[in-house]
Amino acid sequence: MVAKKPSTKATPSNVSADELKAYYRDMLLIRRFEEKAGQLYGMGLIGGFCHLYIGQEAVVVGLEAAAEEGDKRITSYRDHGHMLACGMDPNGVMAELTGREGGYSKGKGGSMHMFSKEKHFYGGHGIVAAQVPLGAGLAFADKYKDNGRVTFTYFGDGAANQGQVYEAFNMAALWKLPCIFVIENNQYAMGTSQQRSTSSAEIYERGKAFGIPGEAVDGMDVLAVKAAGETAVKHCRSGEGPYILEIKTYRYRGHSMSDPAKYRTREEVQKMRDERDPIEAVRTLLLTGKHASEDDLKSIDKEIKAIVNKSADFAKESPEPHLDELWTDIYAEKIPQEA
Amino acid sequence: MATEILMPALSPTMEEGTLAKWLVKEGDTVASGDIMAEIETDKATMEFEAVDEGVIGKILIAEGTEGVKVNTAIAILLEEGEDASAMDSAKSAPDSAPAPAAKEETAAAAPAPAAQTQEAQAVVDTSPDWPEGTTLKQQTVREALRDGMAEEMRKDGDVFIMGEEVAEYQGAYKITQGMLDEFGSKRVIDTPITEHGFAGIAVGASFGGLKPILEFMTFNFAMQAIDHIINSAAKTLYMSGGQMGAPIVFRGPNGAAARVGAQHSQDYAAWYMQVPGLKVAMPYSASDYKGLMKTAIRDPNPVIFLENEILYGRSFDVPEIDDYTVPFGKARIWREGDDVTIVSFGIGMSYALEAADKLAEEGIMAEVIDLRTLRPMDTPAIIKSVKKTNRLVTVEEGWPQGSVGSYISSVVMQEAFDYLDAPVINCTGKDVPMPYAANLEKHALVTTAEVIEAVKKVTYK
């Protein structure tokens, strides 16, 4: 699916020029931010595991376009893109990557463990697939409160082989939880291709066993993702229960910074970059549709560059957490979500 | 030949029950599989089937009789053609009752509730958690636990309970009896058998602003869910820099029940006690079950609430106080003494108190401390007592290596080394998986005799 040409659904007729420009901008922010994070990692400013989102930008940007204020999102450790897409501050995200006081978790979470109560971002989870029942649980809380919210529960094709995913599917369907299960299928579970790890060619079809509807989506096409997201949101919000989106995407970089990516050819990656890049696709739409000029796009590029450089500067200048922080946030005096 | 029909044991921990109803009468012919009677245990009403064919010669225990001990003859079955005179030679039916030895072992593994309760009452007055003159009522641990949960659910609509068989079945161990009727299926929720999944859903719901009580049918099954308990619930507050946490109670029976073998008989106290971010309660008495449960539900942090199946049916004094709570991290001194300190928690308190009672007869006065919560742990109470008695014995059912007792020993070494007149002894379960055979199980568990022996060793008596 990923290898085909941009889908005809992605005509700009049902989207305004401003929206299209916003998607371009948001995807570009993620790409430039991740490139910068890669640099800082190389410089030793970011430690541990760092999983970049480059190539997958259309997934979160398309789905955020379908979300409303108050909707929740939760994902795995490849989470920088999700945080930027839902409006979290790049300074706070980058400073968390460098383990500094100004980070979202005061430097105590790192790349894989970040949260934002304000933006309804529930992490950032380091255990593959643990976020899937957690996301169903967030949806459970929304249904209990009858507040009309939905939860976007993101996981990868690798996580799709964990048993707890199907435990969550069963209960989400049984209890009609307003949960959108988003399978970001980037085709490799770390170094193991889908063909070598997964019995089904279409992972979303596993939902059929539980009566959960779903569909495959071209994840390199932000408008196709947005359209599918709207279908899923409508389904969940109307009380019909969960929905599965298997979004076929591709990561250009290795699984983490320490992955030499020997399990696929350089040509495969290059072909994807050349032919299916989600940002290039929107750029082309903007230019050919005369919705934006080269100069307009250059000014967006410049704005993004400034934001990312500022976040890097902030992340370098923000001090390391005070040693007292070692001993804080172990026990709460009151429920922080309510504060 | 006439045979006696014996009161059956209908659960691993059943010691007695009510003969609720006879469905046959004297003179009736029964065949194998016919339902003869309804028997009520503290957990459920069960139908009791004939295992042999014959004629009911005599009913020995009238319907409605309470407290019929397991293995009591309740009727006599005559073979076809026999007359009533054969009844004098009635023999116990081998198929309908456990061997006598097994009965003895079961009783030994679970010390008689009556004796424990009386002893408990004797010391309550010396260190009560409630003001003098408070009206007390006798309640089982099971009832007190349910009352504690129900009170909190009445007060706070965000509190709900979920787990296997908690709703329509009224609880596998009958803890949630009546709760579905009162709170409805929105707040008392039966789950599929899917511990890993529903633990994750409950933790997620707590992130989302609810206050779940998650019942594990036993803590043995929580091993399937331990990733969510530790990685998702205990660590999120820290990893989020204090932005969000998991106000959730994980509860259920923990430790050995009786004769359920290695996979269903494990004490997890030491495991969970190790984890920063968790709080761990392991109560002994009914009032503590209630008061600590209410505190656990209100606590904004994840709480592991370790219960005990054998204790569920035991009765204790419970104060009739509105909104009775017990704080975490405060030990209770059940018995004062100068010669030795015995520290325990949960069902270990049964052995500790029984041992203290017997030791007192020999003139050795033990101070018995019930920790009640293991994290936070009231180590100052232990240190204070050890400074007085200069001797310490710890008692628990869990395994010896990395036990709760070994942690306490290290704290006492560091904080009261100069006060010790003897090495600390940890009385624990044996370092083996739990065996099934009755005699082996008895020896695998910690025993009162071992506690007495340990006390004599540290007091050089």
The domain ranges of chain A are 54-88+119-293
Spatial contact of B205 and A172, defined as CB atoms under 8 Å apart: no
Q: Which residue of B has its CA nearest to A100?
A: B241
Q: Does the beta-carbon distance from A332 to B245 stay under 8 Å?
A: yes
Sign of CA dihedral B183, B186, B192, B193: negative
pLDDT in tens, chain A (339 residues): 444 444 444 455 679 999 999 999 999 999 999 999 999 999 999 999 999 999 999 999 999 999 999 999 999 999 999 999 999 999 999 999 999 999 999 999 999 999 999 999 999 999 999 999 999 999 999 999 999 999 999 999 999 999 999 999 999 999 999 999 999 999 999 999 999 999 989 999 999 999 999 999 999 999 999 999 999 999 999 999 999 999 999 999 989 888 888 899 999 999 999 999 999 999 999 999 999 999 999 999 999 999 999 999 999 999 999 999 999 999 999 999 876
Q: Does the beta-carbon distance from B208 to A124 stay under 8 Å?
A: no
pLDDT in tens, chain B (461 residues): 788 999 988 877 888 889 999 999 999 999 888 889 999 887 778 888 888 889 999 999 999 999 999 889 999 999 877 776 766 666 654 444 444 444 444 444 444 444 444 444 433 335 568 888 899 999 999 999 999 999 999 999 999 999 999 999 999 999 999 999 999 999 999 999 999 999 999 999 999 999 999 999 999 999 999 999 999 999 999 999 999 999 999 999 999 998 899 999 999 999 999 999 999 999 999 999 999 999 999 999 999 999 999 999 999 999 999 999 999 999 999 999 999 999 999 999 999 999 999 999 999 999 999 999 999 999 999 999 999 999 999 999 999 999 999 999 999 999 999 999 999 999 999 999 999 999 999 999 999 999 999 999 999 98
B443 an active-site residue? no
Can you list the domains of chain B with their CATH numbers? Answer: 3-97 (2.40.50.100), 108-115+330-458 (3.40.50.920), 135-319 (3.40.50.970)
* Alpha carbons A53 and A57: distance in angstroms, whole number: 7
Q: Does the beta-carbon distance from B276 to A330 stay under 8 Å?
A: yes
Q: Does the beta-carbon distance from B205 to A132 stay under 8 Å?
A: no
Structure token pair of residue B120:
């408990």
Where b means 16+ CB within 10 Å and e means fewer, B416-453 reads beeebeeebbbbbbeeeebbeebeebbebbbbbebbbe
Q: What is the pLDDT of residue A9?
A: 45
* Shortest distance, CA B185 to any CA of chain A (angstroms): 11
Mutation target to probe the B interface, by most B beta carbons within 10 A, among A100, A171, A177, A322 is A171
Q: What is the pLDDT of residue B45?
A: 80
Spatial contact of B149 and B179, defined as CB atoms under 8 Å apart: yes
Sign of CA dihedral B182, B170, B152, B299: negative
Collect all residues of chain A within an 8 Å Cβ-Cβ radius of residue B209.
141, 145, 335, 337-338
* Alpha carbons A138 and A306: distance in angstroms, whole number: 35
Prior bond of A12 cis (ω within 30°): no
B195 an active-site residue? yes
Q: Which residue of A has its CA nearest to B195?
A: A167
Q: What is the pLDDT of residue A14?
A: 76
Q: What is the pLDDT of residue A5?
A: 46
* Alpha carbons B224 and A325: distance in angstroms, whole number: 32
Q: Which residue of A has its CA nearest to B300?
A: A335
Collect all residues of chain A within an 8 Å Cβ-Cβ radius of residue B277.
330-331
Mutation target to probe the A interface, by most A beta carbons within 10 A, among B161, B243, B373 is B243
Residue of B227, B245, B277 with shortest CB distance to A127: B227
Superfamily in which the A54-88+119-293 domain is placed by CATH: Thiamin diphosphate (ThDP)-binding fold, Pyr/PP domains (3.40.50.970)
Residue of A135, A136, A330 with shortest CB distance to B277: A330
Q: Does the beta-carbon distance from A113 to B160 stay under 8 Å?
A: no
DSSP B322: T
Residue A283: phi and psi, rounded to 5, are -60, -45
Mode of pairing for the β-strands spanning B366-370 and B340-344: parallel
Q: Residues B264, B307, B441, B450: which is the catalytic one?
A: B264
* Shortest distance, CA B238 to any CA of chain A (angstroms): 5
Q: Does the beta-carbon distance from B239 to A138 stay under 8 Å?
A: no
As a whole-number percent, the residues of chain A with pLDDT over 70 amount to 96
Q: Does the beta-carbon distance from A337 to B207 stay under 8 Å?
A: yes
Spatial contact of B211 and B156, defined as CB atoms under 8 Å apart: yes
Q: Which residue of A has its CA nearest to B242?
A: A329
DSSP B296: H
Q: Which residue of B has its CA nearest to A115?
A: B240
Burial of B66 (C-beta count, 10 Å sphere; 0-12/13-18/19+): exposed
Q: Which residue of B has its CA nearest to A132?
A: B200
Residue of A116, A145, A164 with shortest CB distance to B200: A164
* Alpha carbons B319 and B313: distance in angstroms, whole number: 18
Prior bond of B94 cis (ω within 30°): no
Compute the count of residue pairs across chains A and B with CB atoms less than 8 Å apart.
Answer: 168
Collect all residues of chain B within an 8 Å Cβ-Cβ radius of residue A332.
237, 242, 245, 247, 300-301
Q: Does the beta-carbon distance from A115 to B244 stay under 8 Å?
A: yes
Q: What is the pLDDT of residue B354?
A: 98
Q: Does the beta-carbon distance from A134 to B300 stay under 8 Å?
A: no
Spatial contact of B68 and B10, defined as CB atoms under 8 Å apart: no
* Alpha carbons A41 and A35: distance in angstroms, whole number: 10
Q: Which residues contact A126 (CB under 8 A, 6 or more apart)?
A: A49, A76, A77, A112, A113, B231
Cβ count within 10 A of residue A328:
15
Q: Does the beta-carbon distance from B160 to A123 stay under 8 Å?
A: no
Q: Does the beta-carbon distance from B241 to A333 stay under 8 Å?
A: no
Residue A188: phi and psi, rounded to 5, are -135, 125
Q: What is the pLDDT of residue A270?
A: 94
* Shortest distance, CA A286 to any CA of chain B (angstroms): 39
Spatial contact of A94 and A107, defined as CB atoms under 8 Å apart: no
Residue type at B125 in one-letter notation: D
Spatial contact of B367 and B389, defined as CB atoms under 8 Å apart: yes
Q: Find the DSSP H helices in B299-403.
A: 309-312, 348-361, 379-389
Task: Provide the angle, in degrees to the nearest 10, between the axes of the packed helices A222-237 and A278-288.
Answer: 100
Q: Which chain B residues have any C-beta within 8 angstroms of a chain A C-beta?
A: 160, 186, 191-192, 194, 196-210, 227-228, 231-232, 236-245, 247, 276-277, 279, 300-301
Q: Does the beta-carbon distance from B244 to A117 stay under 8 Å?
A: yes
Q: Residues B195, B309, B396, B450: which is the catalytic one?
A: B195
